[in-house]
Amino acid sequence: MSMQNLIHESSKMHTIQSPNNTFNSGTDNSSNATSGSSTSNLYLTAKGEEQSITDSVYYNEFQRQIIPEEDDLKDDIIQTHMPESADHEMRRIRALQPNLQGKPTSGKYSLKDFQILRTLGTGSFGRVHLIRSNHNGRFYALKILKKRLIVKLKQVEHTNDERLMLSLVSHPFIVRMWGTFQDSVHLYMVMDYVEGGELFSLLRKSQRFPNPVAKFYAAEVCLSLEYLHSKDIIYRDLKPENILLDKNGHIKLTDFGFAKYVPDVTYTLCGTPDYIAPEVVSTKPYNKSVDWWSFGILIYEMLAGHTPFYDSNTVKTYENILNAKLKFPAFFHPDVRDLLSQLITKDLSNRLGNLQNGSEDVKRHPWFSEVIWDKLLSKNIETPYEPPIQQGQGDTSQFDRYPEEDETYGVVCEDPYSNLFTNF
Ligand SMILES: Nc1ncnc2c1ncn2[C@@H]1O[C@H](COP(=O)(O)OP(=O)(O)OP(=O)(O)O)[C@@H](O)[C@H]1O
């Protein structure tokens, strides 16, 4: 069976790091996605080139496993000791970077402000719903997380970081968070509704993207990484599942669950196995350069339809990341081979993006030669694919269907975790 088939036939998997640092995987068939519907033709007209991609390829959704790093807290102290609080973290960040001002996010909204509509996506700690504002009638996305699960899976600090990082960023290619709130059981994050669905779905429907199409998405991702790194934020979970498409087909990076303010180095293992850099696998100290490795894997996957080190066995994937030689399909252009060899390299002193000129080296690489970066940043360039949606209508046609949960939101009861998420 080809790797393509393996990817297409895999069922949905959720993996989280167990408390003793081993890698568990489980299969959850409850969230089976519906078959993909036909994709419109895909064009990149910026250079006058026109490319169409395979239409009407039916697929089973495959969600890769994620490996969250554990918070530095032991179970027995979690009830009594707060992790480094977001407040403290915010003060530390402001002291280091006075220009970085987080937007206040708490207390602005409550459940009464919205109608909760269908589920758009599910994650390890909850789900994301389409919602409609009772005030302006507009649609938003509401990420709802279960406090109990966050604590159980030792993700308290990450969750506070996610809120903090999203409150600090403002960029055309990054999802905007409007505010957060909480009740006794759940945390809520109000975000822009990004209507065009996941790049992941488009890629699986298309099998792979033509060179100019992959280049367009890669270039927008490159600008988002450049921005985050300029704020000393590492993203750490780059993959097509976390790249959404807006109504015009521009990207929006979402899911800041592993994003972290790291001015120097950090150590902990997290991410999605296929995308994790070797220095993370081998638990060495690492920095922003891990995002450039993942960036290389993303470009590879967009062009090939699969990642370079994939194996159904996660341990084997890690072995491949550490030891396997990077091989390219025959149809890869020499320029992209050259770029990927410089991104997907274990040698940190040679990894593009991690050198003296930072992201400039990536942007100046010949594979990106036709990209006019300023125009791209101002979205003054035609996108290769416009999602077929009715704008502003709460159209969810680009999202898979998920079984709705019988969960009650807004419950008032005793909250054993009230001291852990004070900034929500
Ligand atoms: N702003 C948004 N607009 C539209 N859909 C969204 C938005 N944010 C998230 N989604 C959908 O919900 C899915 C899950 O969101 P997200 O990845 O943030 O959750 P998560 O709990 O962190 O997931 P995971 O555990 O897989 O990391 C996304 O893949 C996407 O399909």
260 is known to lie in a ligand binding site: no
Check the CA dihedral 422-72-70-345 and report its sign: positive
Nearest CA to ligand 1 atom 18: 255
What are the structure tokens assigned to 92, written together? 């530390």
Number of residues that make up the chain: 424
Ligand 1 mutation target, pool 143, 160, 389, most atoms within 8 A of CB = 143
Instruction: Please work out whether the CB of residue 396 comes within 6 Å of at least one atom of ligand 1.
Output: no
72 in Cβ contact with 274 (< 8 Å): no
**Beta carbons within 8 Å of 149's beta carbon, 6+ residues apart:** 124, 125, 126
Predicted pLDDT of residue 124:
83
CA distance 93 to 261: 8
Predicted pLDDT of residue 287:
94
Predicted pLDDT of residue 327:
98
Check the CA dihedral 336-337-342-344 and report its sign: positive
Predicted pLDDT of residue 1:
26
ipTM of the complex, rounded to two decimals: 0.97
pTM of the predicted model as reported, rounded to 2 decimal places: 0.81
Catalytic annotation on 347? Answer: no
Instruction: List the one residue out of 264, 241, 267, 266 whose CA is nearest residue 254.
Output: 241
- E runs forming strands in 110-231: 114-122, 126-133, 139-146, 177-182, 186-192
Q: Which residues make beta-bridge pairs with 14?
A: 26
CA distance 340 to 347: 13
Predicted pLDDT of residue 28:
31
Predicted pLDDT of residue 262:
93
CA distance 87 to 85: 5
- Reported as type and span, the H/E element at residue 11 is none
Q: What's the gap in Å between 140 CA and the centre of ligand 1?
A: 13
Q: What's the gap in Å between 115 CA and the centre of ligand 1?
A: 19
Predicted pLDDT of residue 125:
85
185 in Cβ contact with 416 (< 8 Å): no
Predicted pLDDT of residue 405:
87
What DSSP string runs through 48-89?
Answer: S------------------BPPPPS--GGGTTT---S-HHHH
CA distance 243 to 249: 11
- Between helix 211-230 and helix 289-304 the angle, nearest 10°, is 170
- Tens of each residue's pLDDT in the chain, 424 residues: 222 222 222 322 222 222 222 212 222 333 333 333 323 323 332 333 333 332 222 223 345 666 665 543 222 222 222 334 444 555 555 554 544 445 555 567 999 999 999 999 998 888 999 999 999 999 999 999 999 999 999 999 999 999 999 999 999 999 999 999 999 999 999 999 999 999 999 999 999 999 999 999 999 999 999 999 999 999 999 999 999 999 999 999 999 999 999 999 998 888 999 999 999 999 999 999 999 999 999 999 999 999 999 999 999 999 999 999 999 999 999 999 999 999 999 999 999 999 999 999 999 999 999 999 999 999 999 999 999 999 999 999 999 999 998 889 998 999 999 999 999 9
Give all domains of the chain, ordered by start, each with its CATH number.
104-194+391-420 (3.30.200.20), 198-378 (1.10.510.10)
Instruction: Please work out whether the CB of residue 183 comes within 6 Å of at least one atom of ligand 1.
Output: no
CA distance 42 to 125: 34
The closest-lying atom of ligand 1 relative to the alpha carbon of residue 237 is: 27
Instruction: Please work out whether the CB of residue 252 comes within 6 Å of at least one atom of ligand 1.
Output: no
Instruction: Please work out whether the CB of residue 198 comes within 6 Å of at least one atom of ligand 1.
Output: yes
Radius of gyration of the chain (CA): 21
**Beta carbons within 8 Å of 220's beta carbon, 6+ residues apart:** 173, 250, 251, 376
